Amino acid sequence: MELQAVLMAAGGGSRMMDLTYNTPKPLLPVGNKPLIWYPLNLLERVGFEEVIVITTKEVQKMLSTDPKLKLDVKMKLDVVCIQEEADMGTADALRHIQQKIKTDILVVSCDLITDVALHEVVDLFRAHNATLAMLMSKTHEFTETVPGQKGKKKAGEQRDFVGVDGTGKRLLFMANEADLEEGLVVRKSIMRKHPRMHIKTGLLDAHLYCLKRSVVDFLVDNKSISSIRGELVPYLVRKQFSKTSQSQMPKDDSNQDQKKKDRNANLDILTSSKDDSLLQLARERSCWNDHHGDMSEAYHGGKLRCYVHLMEEGMCYRVNTLAAYIEANRMAPKLFDDPPVHSSAVVSERSQVGADSIIGASCQISDKTSIKRSTIGASTTVKEKVKITNSIIMNGVTIEEGCNIQGSVICSNALIGRGADIKYCLVGNSQRIEPEAERTNEVIVGTDQLMEI
Instruction: Give the pLDDT confidence of 104-151 residue by residue, as tens digits.
Output: 999 999 999 999 999 999 999 999 999 999 999 999 888 788 898 765
Q: How confident is the model over 258-282, as a mean pLDDT?
A: 52
Going by C-alpha positions, the residue among 33, 34, 53 that lies closest to residue 43 is: 53
pLDDT at 284 over 50: yes
In whole angstroms, give the CA distance from residue 13 to residue 24: 8
In whole angstroms, give the CA distance from residue 373 to residue 388: 8
More confident residue, 274 or 276: 276
Amino acid found at 55: T
- Please give the share of the chain, as a percent, with pLDDT higher than 70: 83
Q: Model pTM?
A: 0.86
Which stretch, 144-148, 197-201, 405-409, has highest mean pLDDT?
405-409
| CB-CB contact of 395 with 411 (8 Å) | no
The pLDDT score that the predictor gives to residue 11 is: 81
Return the minimum-mean-pLDDT range out of 171-180, 344-353, 367-376. 171-180
Of the pLDDT bands very low, low, confident and very high (cuts 50, 70, 90), residue 2 is confident
Of the pLDDT bands very low, low, confident and very high (cuts 50, 70, 90), residue 228 is very high
The pLDDT score that the predictor gives to residue 263 is: 46
Going by C-alpha positions, the residue among 431, 445, 426 that lies closest to residue 144 is: 426
| CB-CB contact of 115 with 39 (8 Å) | no
68-115 pLDDT per residue, tens = 777 888 899 999 998 876 678 999 999 999 999 999 999 999 999 999
| CB-CB contact of 175 with 190 (8 Å) | no
In whole angstroms, give the CA distance from residue 95 to residue 226: 9
Q: How confident is the model over 227-246, as a mean pLDDT?
A: 82
109: left (phi over 0), alpha (psi -120 to 50) or beta: beta
Q: How confident is the model over 356-376, as a mean pLDDT?
A: 95
How open is the CA angle 334-335-341, to the nearest 5 degrees? Answer: 60
The pLDDT score that the predictor gives to residue 37 is: 93
Of the pLDDT bands very low, low, confident and very high (cuts 50, 70, 90), residue 153 is low
Of the pLDDT bands very low, low, confident and very high (cuts 50, 70, 90), residue 392 is very high
The pLDDT score that the predictor gives to residue 289 is: 54
Return the minimum-mean-pLDDT range out of 286-300, 367-381, 420-434. 286-300
Going by C-alpha positions, the residue among 324, 307, 318, 325 that lies closest to residue 108 is: 318
> What average pLDDT does the structure give for the chain?
85
Going by C-alpha positions, the residue among 33, 40, 37 that lies closest to residue 5 is: 40
Of the pLDDT bands very low, low, confident and very high (cuts 50, 70, 90), residue 293 is low
- Please give the share of the chain, as a percent, with pLDDT higher than 90: 60
Going by C-alpha positions, the residue among 133, 81, 71, 142 that lies closest to residue 108 is: 133
